[in-house]
Amino acid sequence: MTDPQNVLITDQQWYIDGVAAGKPQWYGPYYYPDDIYTSGKETDPVVWMSAFTPLTLKNGTISGLCSGDYILSHINGFLRALELSPNSRIYIIETETSYMVSSSDKQDKVFNISSDGQQFGRYKFSQSSIPAVRYMASQIESSYGTNVTSLPNTLQYSIGQSSYIIKSTTYRDEFNLRWTIMIVMSVDDYMGPVIQFRNIVLIINAVVIVLSIIVGLLISVSITRPLTKLGEEMESLRNIGERSASVEIVAPKKQTFVEKLRQASLFYEVSILQKHFRKMSNAVHGFIKYVPAEVVSNFINMPLSEQARLFRPGVSNRHIAILFTDIEGFTCKSRLHTLIF
């Protein structure tokens, strides 16, 4: 048997190893410099693996090998087609050696091929091109060694302010292939929307609190201002005897839209109380035109019981004195002068 280059297949190393194994087995990975596999816009070197099983005669003699080849680069294309978060990656590594088989990140080198294509090597998981992955893989190797058979299914690492979770599962087939699938998940990618939503909620809560404080202040001012003004007017009315008797009665102003809106609010009762008190105040001021202010002030400051006694309905007999006076010659003198207003 010969290959296309007229080289005996029986002289190939994979054939020799397969016959020596005497059982189904995987061989590789191995590399042919002239093969190129294109996946999308990337051009990856073609790395192969072969699965073979011996063909045995009835007498137990191995007459040959039945093999099937598989392009490992196809796995890269498949992994890169998966939709992952920006900082999450998937790796396939050999369980017993931690050599990388495939990676979902096109920037992460899996195979070490010389510039002339004649030398072929492989990178371990701890030799990843991604700094965060390289750090976590080094921690795994220092804790569990290069054989990750005993690796827990879930690991968590923190690098600076970033957190990662590594989920691993081991695959083994009848050809003694043992691969471990490592899924490196960035917690920040998954928790980012949650954290963003939390920040939005905090901002909304802060805005609501500030608005509540402002509304509370406005409400308190709208309550205390008319009450304070009412108290000032009551104090002014109580001290009316200390002021001049000629007090101007203030006519009510035309209400603006804001004032009408305020009257329609929850504090309409306060404005009504203030309005009626202003009417009473104007009435007292008008009463002062006919009665001395001192008398009105004494009456206002008089206890309620005394007011009730003085203004009790009914008739009572009192001794009073009436003085009638006149100015001599006032009528004649007033006719001789012109009054100037």
In a domain, 136, yes or no: yes
The helix or strand, by DSSP H or E, that contains position 48, with its residue range, turns out to be strand 42-56
| Phi, psi for residue 35 in degrees, rounded to 5 | -95, 135
- Assess whether 300 and 284 both reside in one domain: yes
In a domain, 2, yes or no: yes
Q: pLDDT digit of tens for each residue in the chain (341 aa)?
A: 434 455 677 887 778 888 888 888 888 888 876 655 544 444 567 888 888 888 888 888 888 888 888 888 788 888 888 888 888 999 999 998 899 988 888 888 888 887 776 778 889 999 999 999 999 999 999 998 888 888 899 999 998 888 899 999 998 887 778 899 999 998 888 777 888 888 899 999 999 999 999 998 888 777 777 777 777 777 776 666 555 444 454 555 566 655 555 555 545 666 777 777 777 777 777 777 777 777 777 777 778 777 777 766 667 787 888 888 888 877 777 777 665 54
- Assess whether 80 and 120 both reside in one domain: yes
Of 53, 71, 89, the position where a domain reaches its end is 71
- Assess whether 83 and 62 both reside in one domain: no
In a domain, 234, yes or no: no
Of 71, 106, 121, the position where a domain reaches its end is 71
Residue 66's contacts (CB-CB under 8 Å, 6 or more residues apart) are 52, 53, 54, 55
The pLDDT score that the predictor gives to residue 246 is 46
In a domain, 208, yes or no: no
What is the SS3 assignment for 146?
A: coil
- Assess whether 254 and 265 both reside in one domain: yes
Domain count, the chain: 3
In a domain, 320, yes or no: no
In a domain, 100, yes or no: yes
Residue 145's contacts (CB-CB under 8 Å, 6 or more residues apart) are none
- Assess whether 143 and 153 both reside in one domain: yes
In a domain, 306, yes or no: yes
pTM over 0.75: no
Please list the residues that pair with 169 across neighbouring strands. Answer: 181
> Is 164 within 8 Å of 136 (Cβ atoms)?
yes
| Phi, psi for residue 46 in degrees, rounded to 5 | -85, 120
What one-character DSSP code corresponds to residue 227? H
Q: β-pairing, 178-186 with 25-39? A: unpaired
Provide the domain limits for residue 152: 73-189
What CATH number did the domain enclosing 137 receive?
A: 3.30.450
How many angstroms separate the Cα of 276 from the Cα of each of 272, 281, 289, 326?
A: 6, 9, 21, 43
> Is 74 within 8 Å of 92 (Cβ atoms)?
no
- Assess whether 67 and 81 both reside in one domain: no
- Assess whether 94 and 152 both reside in one domain: yes
In a domain, 83, yes or no: yes
| Phi, psi for residue 333 in degrees, rounded to 5 | -65, -35
Of 43, 71, 99, the position where a domain reaches its end is 71
- Assess whether 78 and 169 both reside in one domain: yes
Amino acid (1-letter code) at residue 273? L
- Assess whether 63 and 137 both reside in one domain: no
> Is 88 within 8 Å of 186 (Cβ atoms)?
yes
- Assess whether 33 and 87 both reside in one domain: no
Residue 54's contacts (CB-CB under 8 Å, 6 or more residues apart) are 18, 19, 21, 22, 23, 24, 62, 64, 65, 66
- Assess whether 42 and 87 both reside in one domain: no
The pLDDT score that the predictor gives to residue 71 is 84
Nearest to 98 by CA among 154, 72, 137: 137
- Assess whether 126 and 83 both reside in one domain: yes
